[in-house]
Structure 1
Amino acid sequence: MRPRVAVVGSANMDLVGLAPRLPAPGETVLGDDFVMTPGGKGANQAIAAARAGGDCAFLGAIGSDAFGVTINARLTAAGVDVSAVRTSYGASGVAVIMVDRSGENSILVSPGANRSFLNLSDAEKSLIAGADVLVCQQEIPLSTVTEAARAAQAGATRVLLNAAPARELPAELLAAVDLLVVNEVEARAITGAAEPDATTLLEAVPRVVLTMAGAGAWYADRDGTSVKVPAFPVEVVDTTAAGDAFCGALAVAWGEERDLVDAVRWASAAGAACVRKVGAYPSLPSRADIDEIYHG
């Protein structure tokens, strides 16, 4: 059976500008191209999980504008269950993204409707508790993330928290997390260490994945496992949703009861498959795309 994945998080419309290089403060750079595509870490990870083979439901909020209609339609087209998506009167979330020719990016997010996603209903908590894995991020109110994690914990649903963007984490939230996924910037925000490693984070949670971009990922747990997983070499076009592809695929692999080190390797293949295309929605890989890179 396909693993059941519930994703609680943000949904945005991504406005992506491609340019030779990222502009300095106060500078205008003539761009190469422009793409408008649905995004937001929550919606991206839901689509990534569905394309990777999960039975995925998304819980979040979109606006009553045209962007909201498009976001909802794209989630549905990707096979995501949107029955729990709320519509809030006003603007949807928007992300303005600049990408240079090396694939590096700079992102400004206006949360819009995502700010209104508060106070989970009993039906939403029940959906979370019925999943195999809950995936959360930090682009929505942290009170909602904490509430979702506690609902998962009550239903014996495993909790994967992608602590992005970097914010201070409430102790109540950390206590409900089974697997924490962070990059080096986010790890520094949580630990306060100048050069944090995966094992340092085990003081807060039982399992950790520290992603290190081109240097791969590092998995560690309280049972004594500590393994560095190398990145798969690919030509980088756009890194925008690579972390989201990683988290969605990791949730599916974990829901399939794979060994977590192997699950991290498979998720790394998903991230590698993602960076080969421009824009979050088009680049999030299918299961076949992931397996192609994973099996070499």
Structure 2
Amino acid sequence: MSSSMPKSALTIVGSINLDITATTHRLPSPGETVGDGVLCRQPGGKGANQAVAAARLAGASRMIGAVGRDEAGRQLLDAMASAGVDVKNIRHVDEATGTALVLVDSDGENQIVVCPGANGEVSVDGVSFGEEEAVLCQLEVDQDVVLDAARRAKGFFALNAAPAAPLLPELLERCDLVIVNETEYALIPELRQAPLVAVTYGGEGSAIFEHGERVAEAPAVAVTDIANTIGAGDAFCAALVLALQAGLEYEHALAAANAVGADAVRDASSQPALQPLDHYVAAGRALAGDSPT
């Protein structure tokens, strides 16, 4: 494959949140107060994180979601638009903009409580999808909305099945790709029979399964300077869909997505700065010991 990657169209349907993050040296135990926190407000939500990652990797993306008619909603729209995300299909609703309360320790581990707010009003009514347009969803919005998007999507349809939940049979049948971490894979047994599932294993890399059979894998990129793990999985998801849509073989697509995830954890933001996808494809080939062709 040429080193020049085509810019695949990618639309994300999902959540948009304001992340209110407290960073501290360790996470509190139940009932305990830890008093050295540093507070930060920044854009988040799995859907928005994936849309911003896709825009930074491929030059553009489209987001379908909902925000409140409040200052947080305006800030989040501005942040997405400035990253190259098409925000025209984001609804403005009377509910407050979704909020995530996040605790992060010095190792980048986190605890998160999500207050969905406007994310409960996400809809794909009136939204059209192109024949060649890939669509990526998650489960931070109602699964019926995700199913509606799956029915309307004409091209490649991917689901990041997070947070873990039982999947509607029709939704799972429609998925061209499901992406989960190892915990989610264990919690959703129906994925063992799914046609194509990508599973991330943190420091152990990632793998692809066809009908429960492991058919490809790629090692993780070693990272010592972890700042925040929250946006890494979302960046991985966007990168993997884009890489597969660009025609990379499974192992090379996984390796490129692993390289993206490694870059993401070095950034304190849930919507990290990223290089174009070509950069990570080259890094992934180097990791696998392949020379570019």
Q: TM-score, normalised by structure 2?
A: 0.90
Displacement after TM superposition at 1:222 (Å):
4.9
User: 1:121-177 CA distances to partner (integer Å, 9 max, x unpaired)?
Assistant: 23x1x2x3444311000000100000101111xx2x111110000111100100100
Q: Secondary structure at the match of 1:52?
A: helix
Match of 2:21 in 1: 16
Question: In the aligned structure 1, how far is the partner of 2:104 from the partner of 2:282?
Answer: 26
User: 1:194-239 CA distances to partner (integer Å, 9 max, x unpaired)?
Assistant: xxxxxxx341x21111111111111122596612211000122211
Question: In the aligned structure 2, how far is the partner of 1:226 from the partner of 1:42?
Answer: 28
Match of 2:232 in 1: 242
Match of 2:266 in 1: 276
Match of 1:257 in 2: 247
AA partner of residue 270 (structure 1)? V
Q: Which runs of 5+ in 2 are unaligned?
A: 1-5, 288-293
Contact in 2 for aligned 1:273/1:293 (Cα 8 Å): no
Match of 2:165 in 1: 167
| 1:143 equivalenced with 2:161 (yes/no) | no
Displacement after TM superposition at 1:55 (Å):
3.1
Contact in 2 for aligned 1:91/1:113 (Cα 8 Å): yes
User: 1:21-62 CA distances to partner (integer Å, 9 max, x unpaired)?
Assistant: 001111111234222110000000000111111531100001
Q: Which runs of 5+ in 1 are unaligned?
A: 193-200
Match of 1:121 in 2: 125
Match of 1:97 in 2: 102
Q: Secondary structure at the match of 1:37?
A: strand
Moved over 6 A (4+): none
Let me know the Cα RMSD of the aligned residues: 1.9
Q: Secondary structure at the match of 2:34?
A: coil
Q: Secondary structure at the match of 1:59?
A: strand
Equivalent pairs counted in the alignment come to: 279
Contact in 1 for aligned 2:66/2:119 (Cα 8 Å): yes
Question: In the aligned structure 1, how far is the partner of 2:97 from the partner of 2:265?
Answer: 26
Contact in 2 for aligned 1:46/1:58 (Cα 8 Å): yes
Q: Secondary structure at the match of 2:178?
A: strand
Question: In the aligned structure 2, how far is the partner of 1:6 from the partner of 1:174?
Answer: 19
Call closer, same or farther: CA 1:129–1:143 in 2, change over 3 Å.
farther
**1:1-296 correspondence runs (5 A):** 1-118=6-123, 120-122=124-126, 124=127, 126=128, 128-152=129-153, 155=154, 157-191=155-189, 201-203=191-193, 205-222=194-211, 226-235=215-224, 236-281=226-271, 283-287=272-276, 290=280, 293-294=283-284, 295=286
Question: In the aligned structure 2, how far is the partner of 1:21 from the partner of 1:34?
Answer: 14
AA partner of residue 65 (structure 1)? D
Question: In the aligned structure 1, how far is the partner of 2:217 from the partner of 2:46?
Answer: 25
Displacement after TM superposition at 1:255 (Å):
2.1
Match of 1:198 in 2: none
Match of 2:290 in 1: none
Displacement after TM superposition at 1:284 (Å):
4.5
Question: In the aligned structure 1, how far is the partner of 2:175 from the partner of 2:157?
Answer: 5
Question: In the aligned structure 1, how far is the partner of 2:212 from the partner of 2:229?
Answer: 32
AA partner of residue 257 (structure 2)? A
Question: In the aligned structure 2, how far is the partner of 1:35 from the partner of 1:131?
Answer: 39
